[in-house]
């Protein structure tokens, strides 16, 4: 057997975000295994330039066209190719300059480049859960057709993926997605009505981008993850259970037909599922802090309170009804979170906005990609109009 090491060329889409930066830490720590060959960012040109100078990628993409001259100027002395604008994300995703895409753009914006990578036969390490929430059927069908793996980065799905190794012939009875519960665990509506953005941005266990942090505080994140799990693991809605597990140590579990349960455990540190997805099928040594059972006297699990955290109930409805409803819900949620972060609406008004948009956007049971894109646009405009955004 050859001992020659193959360096995996990673395209980090969304390199300036929380996942993107942690992925670059993993890549930097393993220069014999990985290189960062594509870096993309929407706005944060200073960080993108800094990353480009450090990692010498083949290509960088800056989403905001206005930032292009500054990036171009800063990287003038280097051979790095610089692209800008939304369309160039898809163009670069189709290029044969990388081996694995890390899809770490946030929101609906990640769908097209991720789908382009899959259509071009590129394996994807998927952090951008919204891609599967919006158009999971289309993305997964394409992945099967192209015979490429979609390796989850989301910690719960990485846990399930790891539990399923060696179990290809054994049907899943159910999966249990664990949720930290966010900063407002145990709180009731009379408290939530007064919650402000600063409070909602304080997550007890994870340090993440703003959108997913708000989604965690409303439990919408877990709703999106139920839909993500459905597509990744080909599950029926009733096979997906959510349990609140405030310690965030058990990252998720799978129960098989014999009743046996497998779980994956570890400290809440996204570098671990990121590293696992980049290195799959191998595990690589690292110096991350390790879980020690002696420091945890109890690991607890309880039912989520979906009467108070109604976003999770709405997501369960979208999961059940399928069609374009998850896409509509996702679009309304993106508008709601944006408006909440801008202090334009209150914490509970986010739920009302999502619910109204789900009720009023035309339902399509088996949408095409174009219809998903149209539903997203319709729902965004509808939601933004309600709150005069």
- Contacts with Mg ion by CB under 5 A lie at 154-156
Q: How far apart are CA 6 and CA 336, in angstroms?
A: 44
Contact between 59 and ligand NAD by CB under 6 A: the answer reads no
Nearer to ligand NAD, 37 or 154 (CB): 154
Q: Which of 79, 35, 82 is nearest to 59 (CA)?
A: 82
Contact between 326 and ligand NAD by CB under 6 A: the answer reads no
The stretch among 122-130, 228-236, 287-295, 306-314 that binds ligand NAD (CB under 6 A) is 122-130
- Residue 18: name its binding partner from Mg ion, ligand NAD, none (Cβ under 5 to 8 Å by kind): ligand NAD
Q: By CB under 6 A, what part of segment 146-175 binds ligand NAD?
A: 154
Rounded to a whole number of angstroms, the minimum distance from the CB of residue 156 to Mg ion is 5
Q: How far apart are CA 168 and CA 289, in angstroms?
A: 31
Nearer to ligand NAD, 35 or 44 (CB): 44
CA atoms within 13 A on the CB side of 156: 27
- Applying CB under 6 A, among 11, 17, 35, 80 the residue interacting with ligand NAD is 17
- Residue 127: name its binding partner from Mg ion, ligand NAD, none (Cβ under 5 to 8 Å by kind): ligand NAD
Q: Which of 311, 307, 291 is nearest to 299 (CA)?
A: 291
Q: How far apart are CA 71 and CA 129, in angstroms?
A: 29
194, exposed or middle or buried, with CB in 10 Å at 0-12, 13-18, 19+? exposed
146, exposed or middle or buried, with CB in 10 Å at 0-12, 13-18, 19+? middle
- Residue 19: name its binding partner from Mg ion, ligand NAD, none (Cβ under 5 to 8 Å by kind): ligand NAD
The stretch among 37-45, 284-292, 326-334, 356-364 that binds ligand NAD (CB under 6 A) is 37-45
- Applying CB under 6 A, among 10, 11, 20, 135 the residue interacting with ligand NAD is 20
List strand residue ranges (DSSP E) for the chain, in order.
8-13, 34-41, 59-62, 81-84, 100-103, 124-126, 150-152, 172-179, 240-244, 250-256, 261-265
Nearer to ligand NAD, 128 or 333 (CB): 128
Rounded to 10 degrees, what is the CA torsion of 161, 206, 99, 229?
30
Q: By CB under 6 A, what part of segment 249-288 binds ligand NAD?
A: 270
The stretch among 10-18, 183-191, 321-329, 358-366 that binds ligand NAD (CB under 6 A) is 10-18
266 and 291 Cβ atoms separated by less than 8 Å: yes
Q: How far apart are CA 281 and CA 8, in angstroms?
A: 13
Nearer to Mg ion, 45 or 154 (CB): 154
CA atoms within 13 A on the CB side of 63: 17
Rounded to a whole number of angstroms, the minimum distance from the CB of residue 63 to ligand NAD is 4
Dihedrals φ, ψ of 133, to 5°? -65, -40
- Applying CB under 6 A, among 206, 233, 256, 288 the residue interacting with ligand NAD is 206
- Residue 270: name its binding partner from Mg ion, ligand NAD, none (Cβ under 5 to 8 Å by kind): ligand NAD
Nearer to ligand NAD, 93 or 163 (CB): 93
267 and 249 Cβ atoms separated by less than 8 Å: yes
User: Is the four-CA dihedral 249, 231, 239, 129 of positive or negative sign?
Assistant: positive
Contact between 117 and ligand NAD by CB under 6 A: the answer reads no
Contact between 109 and ligand NAD by CB under 6 A: the answer reads yes
* Contacting residues toward ligand NAD, per CB under 6 A: 14-20, 41-44, 63, 104-106, 109, 127-130, 154, 206, 208-209, 211-212, 270
């Amino acid at each position: 057997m050859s001992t020659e090491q193959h360096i995996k060329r990673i395209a980090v889409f969304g390199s300036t975000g929380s996942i993107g930066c942690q992925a670059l830490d993993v890549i930097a720590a393993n220069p014999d295994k990985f290189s960062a060959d594509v870096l993309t960012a929407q706005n944060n040109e200073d960080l993108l330039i800094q990353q480009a100078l450090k990692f010498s990628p083949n290509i960088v993409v800056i989403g905001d066209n206005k930032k292009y001259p500054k990036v171009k100027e800063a990287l003038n002395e280097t051979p790095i190719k610089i692209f800008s604008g939304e369309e160039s994300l898809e163009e670069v995703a189709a290029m044969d300059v990388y081996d694995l895409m890390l899809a770490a753009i946030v929101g609906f914006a990640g769908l097209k480049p991720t789908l382009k990578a899959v259509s071009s036969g590129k394996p994807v390490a998927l952090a951008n859960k919204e891609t599967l929430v919006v158009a999971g059927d289309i993305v997964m069908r394409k992945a099967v057709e192209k015979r490429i793996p979609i390796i989850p980065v989301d910690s719960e799905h990485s846990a399930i993926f790891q539990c399923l190794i060696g179990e290809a012939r054994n049907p899943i009875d159910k999966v249990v997605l664990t949720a930290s519960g966010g900063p407002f665990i145990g709180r009731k509506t009379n408290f939530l009505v007064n919650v402000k953005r600063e409070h909602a941005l304080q997550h007890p266990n994870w340090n993440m981008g703003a959108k997913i942090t708000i989604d965690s505080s409303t439990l919408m994140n877990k709703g999106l993850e139920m839909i993500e799990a459905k597509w990744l693991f080909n599950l029926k809605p009733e096979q997906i259970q959510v349990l609140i597990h405030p310690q965030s140590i058990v990252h998720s579990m799978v129960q098989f037909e014999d009743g046996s349960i497998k779980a994956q455990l570890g400290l809440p540190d996204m570098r671990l599922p990121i590293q696992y997805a980049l290195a799959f099928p191998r595990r690589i040594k690292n110096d991350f802090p390790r879980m020690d059972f002696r420091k945890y006297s109890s690991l607890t699990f309880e039912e989520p309170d979906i009467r108070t955290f109604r976003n999770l109930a709405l997501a369960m409805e979208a999961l059940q009804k399928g069609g374009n409803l998850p896409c509509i819900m996702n679009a309304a949620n993106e508008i709601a979170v944006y408006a909440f972060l801008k202090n334009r609406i209150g914490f509970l008004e986010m739920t009302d906005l999502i619910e109204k948009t789900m009720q009023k956007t035309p339902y399509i049971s088996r949408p095409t990609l174009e219809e998903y894109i149209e539903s997203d646009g319709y729902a965004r405009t509808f939601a933004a109009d309600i709150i005069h955004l």
